[in-house]
Amino acid sequence: GENVEQHPSTLSVQEGDSAVIKCTYSDSASNYFPWYKQELGKGPQLIIDIRSNVGEKKDQRIAVTLNKTAKHFSLHITETQPEDSAVYFCAANGLTFGKGTHLIIQP
């Protein structure tokens, strides 16, 4: 089955700086890679996703890149703000999730 590794488990950045979270997957047949944000007391919510026919996708301050050859994909958040503080999960094919990254934005 699919296996997803996510790093780092905790990431602390200064407000205004960029944050990068990385994931690797094992199944070369996987073709859908969503990223979810989970705020305290809530369920995860999709923030961006990418399919295997695309190398990069952007939505305002958030971007995702995909390297199919290396089987890894990354979430990039620029100009971080306090409301970006949350736990972020990557997933492969939407069913196998990484262990999560706790992003802390330092004021």
Q: Is 54 in the site for another protein (CB under 8 A)?
A: no
Q: How far is the CB of 46 from another protein (least distance, A)?
A: 5
How far apart are alpha carbons 78 and 21 in whole angstroms? 12
Q: How far is the CB of 71 from another protein (least distance, A)?
A: 16
71 binds another protein (CB under 8 A): no
- The residue range among 11-19, 27-35, 55-63, 74-82 that interacts with another protein, by the rule CB under 8 A, is 27-35
Distances from the Cα of 102 to the Cα of 21, 27, 28, 54, 99, angstroms: 10, 25, 27, 27, 10
**Among residues 66, 74, 98, 103, the one that binds another protein under rule CB under 8 A:** 98
Size of the residue set binding another protein (CB under 8 A): 24
1 binds another protein (CB under 8 A): yes
Residues in touch with another protein (CB under 8 A):
1, 6, 9, 31-32, 34, 36, 41-46, 49, 51, 89, 93-100
